């Protein structure tokens, strides 16, 4: 029941918003050409803003991913032994390796 109420609330809010915008354009003292020019300008500004925000978000996410990679690599280096160093002190001769 709660989900149905949410959907109808969203539908009502969306319809009200669109109706308000339409009424605003119909009642504005500007001519249609001026309104369309204003809408075009606002859409261009909004697109520029979105592009800027997208670039900023990508840059920030790349920096954060780089930090996470570094932390993972450091954690692996700290917790997983280097096999060359770990086996360096093992005393094995050819007889030990190749004996039957």
**pLDDT for residue 100 is more than 90:** no
Tell me what the mean pLDDT of segment 46-65 comes to.
95
Co-location of 39 and 24 in the same domain: no
Co-location of 43 and 73 in the same domain: yes
CA dist., res. 39 & res. 45, Å (int): 10
- 87's tokens: 């086996």
DSSP codes joined into one string, 3-71: HHHHHHHHHHHHHHHHHHHHHHHHH-SS-HHHHHHHHHHHHHHHHHHHHHHHHHHHHHHHHHHHHHHHH
- Which domain range does residue 16 map to? 1-30
Co-location of 23 and 48 in the same domain: no
**pLDDT tens digits, 65-92:** 999 999 999 998 888 877 777 777 777 7
Co-location of 49 and 78 in the same domain: yes
Output the pLDDT for position 59.
96
């Amino acid at each position: 029941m709660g989900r149905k109420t949410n959907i109808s609330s969203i539908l009502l809010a969306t319809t009200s918003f669109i109706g308000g915008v339409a009424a605003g354009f119909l009642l504005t003292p500007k001519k249609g050409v001026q309104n369309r020019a204003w809408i075009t300008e606002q859409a261009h500004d909004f697109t520029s803003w979105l592009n800027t925000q997208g670039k900023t978000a990508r840059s920030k996410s790349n920096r954060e991913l780089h930090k996470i990679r570094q932390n993972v690599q450091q954690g692996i280096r700290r917790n997983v032994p280097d096999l060359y160093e770990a086996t360096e002190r093992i005393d094995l001769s050819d007889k030990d390796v190749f004996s039957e």
